[in-house]
Amino acid sequence: MRMRYWSGVVALLSGILAFGPSLVEAQQPAPAAAAPAASSARIAYIDVQRVLARSSAGVAAREQLEREKSVMQKEMDGKRQELEKLRDELEKKGPLMTAEARRDKQEVFERKRRDAARQMDDFQKELEKKEQVLLQRVLQDLSGVIEKVGKDRGYYMIVEKRGASVLYASADADLTDEIIRAYDSQAPKKTP
pLDDT interval class at 168 (50, 70, 90): low
86 falls within a domain: yes
- pLDDT score of 85: 92
- Mind giving me the DSSP string for 1-23? -HHHHHHHHHHHHHHHHHHTHHH
Quick one: CA torsion of 159, 174, 156, 55, rounded to 10 degrees?
70
94 belongs to a structural domain: yes
In a domain, 17, yes or no: no
CA angle 138, 123, 114 (to 5 degrees): 165
Q: How many residues does the chain have?
A: 192
- pLDDT for res 31: 38
Cross-strand pairs, 44:
158
Q: In the predicted model, what is the mean pLDDT of the chain? A: 76
Asked if residue 145 is part of any domain, the answer here is: yes
Q: What is the mean pLDDT of residues 74-83?
A: 93
pLDDT tens digit string along 14-43? 333 333 333 333 333 333 333 344 455 688
For residue 157, being part of any structural domain is answered with yes
Are the C-beta atoms of 139 and 2 separated by less than 8 Å? yes
Q: At what angle do helices 99-153 and 56-93 cross, to 10 degrees?
A: 170
DSSP state letter for 191:
P
* Mean of pLDDT values over 154-180: 79
In tens, the pLDDT along 116-153 reads: 999 999 999 999 999 889 888 888 888 888 888 888 88
pLDDT, residue 37, reads 45
The reported pLDDT for the residue numbered 94 is: 81
58 pLDDT higher than 90:
no
Range of the domain at 173: 42-186
- Say if 35 falls within a structural domain: no
Which carries the bigger pLDDT value, residue 167 or residue 95?
A: 95
Domains in the chain: how many in total? 1
Nearest by Cα to 46 from 138, 128, 160, 153: 160
32 DSSP 8-state letter: T
